[in-house]
Amino acid sequence: MIRFWPVLVIIAAFGLPWLPGLPLFWVTLGNEIGIAAIVATGLVILTGIGGMTSFAQASFMGFGAYATAILSTRYGVSPWLGLPAALLASGIAALAIGAITLRLRAHYLALGTLAWSVSLYYLFGTLDLVGRNDGISSIPPLQLAGVKFVDVRQSFTLIALALLASLWASRNLLDSRWGRAIRALRGGSVAAASFGVNIAAARMLAFVYAAVLAGLAGWLFAHLQRAVNPTPFGLNASIEYLLMTVIGGAAQLPGALLGAGLVVIVNDRLQDWLPLLLGHAGNFEVIVFGLLLVLVLQFAPSGLWPLIARRTAATRHTIGTIALPKRATPAPGPALEVSGLRKRFGGLVAVADLTFSLSAREIIGLIGPNGAGKSTSFNLLTGVTKPDAGTVRLAGRDVTGLSAPAMARLGVARSFQHVKLAASMSVIENVVLGAHLRGNASPIAGVFRQDRAEEAALFGEAMRQLERVGLAELADRPATSLALGQQRIVEIARALCLDPSLLLLDEPAAGLRHAEKQALAELLRKLAAEGMAILLVEHDMEFVMNLAARLVVMDFGTRIAEGPPAEVRRNPAVIEAYLGSAA
């Protein structure tokens, strides 16, 4: 299928600069916008989507620009071979800087990158290798089939094609297994980690990818300007790139071009107008941009692009029919053995001493009043929180203290009491995250779209699980547009995508109507019959008593009773602690 807009952009890339009567000045401005938009595209993925703020994008652009400048002026290397060198230089610099800095979160990360930006600016300005503050000049222009790209119109075409390639690669990345991992980072990474995503790797991927795009922009810049010095790679420039991303619409790729266009044009106009207005020259644009940023954040916090394109159509995913390989059916015997589990938060002992076991094909209800420690127990059993004492065994193997991704790999899947779905993703995209570990396509395969067969199989699996829970019709809806009860069911479909041997559900029936509860009970019975071990935290007593063969009752972090529902119901301690207080 030929998509319409890339064809249009390619025609524009070649035709636009030659438009009769178009002042050359606008073409020059267009070139500036295009290069900036490439940097901003990387920032959309890093900041807008991945939630990591970087004040160092201009520095990464510098690595790319200097790499190709040094190679082409000192060693006579062809500028075309300078391209992979530039991408590699920015990528490796990001890998090194990221390894030190990405441990930091939120504002601290922003400050960390800011520090790098300032240091690298001074480094560029003092290193002899890169010509200190004078930089490197006489950089050879790009040449193709005898044509030298020295003319701004030819440069325009080249830049437009590079931007198009960047947008294409970025869209592919976002629409891949690793791209979904990056998209799931925003708003807490617990869910992603619980389905096996290596959070540190996903963050690093976004960081390096954004730097590589900045390196591409740096390479273009070096060969089109034919000279480089530290100024365009300083903190001011980095702030402008961030501004473009925020103003354009931080979470959407077209926002990068919109933001770059606005900032470059406004910047250019202001340099003419402000001195007239204020009577003398100076860096007053900074103040105007500051105001502009405050206004955008106030009135259009998601940037301006969403105002232009109200709703982006849901991405169409190919739903494959080839089934994914399944985990071996677990041997009969205890699937989960918990013994003496303990967790303290400061002065509060949330889980004091929890002991119970659960077999394959069994459904157990974990009940108890609010604050009894049920959700904390779930976090301890799934590797989200590390226990202070006690052991957890999975099919006989000691797994105490393993990480959430490691537990996911061993077949433990869960849902959350407070629903954790990515708001920016559709229902099926959220569900397919559950199958993250059942694919193995690399980010590079994703960028070049070599992952389509695997993706179709993963989406096929997600669709089957959605059909199983009865939500197939809502697959393409934004996940958070569903009723809360349905979102819980989406979480179950996501958990099933992991092909779990142990399923932990935290209040799955909350917010469901009677018929929906019955359908859920039916599904859970069927899953247990197929060999799954299911641990259920539930407040709806009728629901859990009809479903579970055994109940484990918790109060103040300990097990106060255990047994068949009918027996537990008559237990005086339970009546006292739980049913009594509810009655």
* Helix, strand, coil % over all residues of the chain, rounded to 5: 60, 10, 30
The residue within the footprint of ligand ADP, chosen from 50, 62, 330, 368 (CB under 6 A), is 368
DSSP string, 97-162: HHHHHTTS-HHHHHHHHHHHHHHHHHHHHH-GGGTGGG-B--PPPPEETTEETTSHHHHHHHHHHH
- Which of 344/525 has CB closer to ligand ADP? 344
- Closer CB to Mg ion, 136 or 537, in the complex: 537
Q: Closest approach of Cβ 350 to ligand ADP, in Å?
A: 3
Name the residue type at position 344.
R
**Contact in structure between 500 and 329 (CB atoms under 8 Å):** no
**Structural tokens at position 269:** 């106009």
Task: Compute the least distance from the CB of residue 462 to Mg ion, in Å.
Answer: 27
Question: Which of Mg ion, ligand ADP, none does residue 260 bind (CB under 5 to 8 Å by kind)?
Answer: none
Binding mask 475-504 for Mg ion (x = CB under 5 A): ------------------------------
**Contacts with ligand ADP: how many residues (CB under 6 A)?**
11
372 or 394, CB closer to ligand ADP? 372
Range in contact with Mg ion (rule: CB under 5 A) among 132-140, 342-350, 369-377, 495-503: 369-377
| CB count in 10 Å sphere of residue 75 | 9
Kindly state whether residue 415 participates in binding ligand ADP, applying the rule CB under 6 A.
no
Q: Which is nearer to ligand ADP, 371 or 511 (CB)?
A: 371
- Cα distance between residue 211 and residue 555, in whole Å: 51
Closest contact distance (angstroms) between CB of 374 and Mg ion is 5
The nearest distance, CB 342 to ligand ADP, in angstroms, is 12
Cα 557 from Cα 325, distance rounded (Å): 39
Q: Which of 374, 436, 438, 550 binds ligand ADP (CB under 6 A)?
A: 374
- As a whole number of angstroms, the distance between CA 554 and CA 258 comes to 55
Our finding on whether 348 is near ligand ADP (CB under 6 A) is yes
Q: Can you name the residues that pair with 342 across neighbouring β-strands?
A: 389
In whole angstroms, the minimum distance from the beta carbon of 86 to ligand ADP comes to: 45
Q: Which of 236, 359, 417, 480 binds Mg ion (CB under 5 A)?
A: 417
Of residues 248-277, which lie at the interface with ligand ADP (CB under 6 A)? none
Q: How far apart are CA 581 and CA 65, in angstroms?
A: 69
**Closest distance to ligand ADP from the beta carbon of 189 (Å):** 15
The interface mask with ligand ADP, positions 300-339, x = CB under 6 A, is: ----------------------------------------
- In terms of Cα–Cα distance, which of 371, 351, 241, 253 is closest to 5? 253
Choose which of 350, 427, 503, 536 interacts with ligand ADP (CB under 6 A).
350
Residue 375 touches Mg ion, criterion: CB under 5 A: yes
| Contact stretch for ligand ADP (CB under 6 A) within 123-131, 368-376, 455-463, 494-502 | 368-376
Length of the chain (residues): 583
For Mg ion, the closer CB: 153 or 374: 374
Q: How many angstroms separate the CA atoms of 316 and 476, rounded?
A: 8
In this structure, what is the dihedral angle of CA atoms 272, 273, 276, 280, given to the nearest 10 degrees?
A: -70
Gap between the Cα atoms of 182 and 50, Å rounded? 5
Nearer residue to ligand ADP within complex by CB, 221 or 378: 378
DSSP structure class, residue 87 = H
**Taking Cα atoms as reference points, which of 418, 416, 386 lies closest to residue 399?**
386
What are the structure tokens assigned to 420, written together?
């954790």
Question: How far apart are CB 376 and ligand ADP at their closest, in Å?
Answer: 3
Out of 141, 306, 334, 371, the only residue in the binding site for ligand ADP (CB under 6 A) is 371
Supply the minimum distance, in Å, between the C-beta of residue 430 and ligand ADP.
23
> Pick from 218, 184, 236: which is nearest to 50 by CA?
184
Q: Of 305 and 378, which has the nearer Cβ to ligand ADP?
A: 378
CB of 579 to ligand ADP, least distance (A): 15
Q: Binding string, 375-394, against ligand ADP, x = CB under 6 A?
A: xx------------------
- Rounded Cα distance between 329 and 307, Å, is 51
Going by C-alpha positions, the residue among 534, 495, 469, 498 that lies closest to residue 327 is: 498
Segment interacting with ligand ADP (CB under 6 A) among 313-321, 373-381, 453-461, 511-519: 373-381
Whole-number minimum distance, CB 364 to ligand ADP, in Å?
A: 15
Q: Crossing angle for the helix pair 484-496 and 514-529, nearest 10 degrees?
A: 10
DSSP β-ladder status, 550-555 and 147-148: unpaired
Part in contact with ligand ADP (CB under 6 A); list of ranges 110-118, 126-134, 183-191, 364-372: 364-372
Nearest residue to 249 via CA among 174, 257, 109, 213: 257
**Closer CB to ligand ADP, residue 374 or residue 550?**
374
Instruction: State the nearest-atom distance from the C-beta of 417 to Mg ion, in Å.
Output: 4
Q: How far is CA 203 from CA 11, 113, 173, 178, 180, in A?
A: 36, 14, 14, 10, 12
Name the E strands within 380-481.
Answer: 389-394, 397-398, 412-414
**Residue facing Mg ion at closest CB distance:** 375
Binding site for Mg ion (CB under 5 A): 374-375, 417
Binding site for ligand ADP (CB under 6 A): 345, 348, 350, 368, 370-376
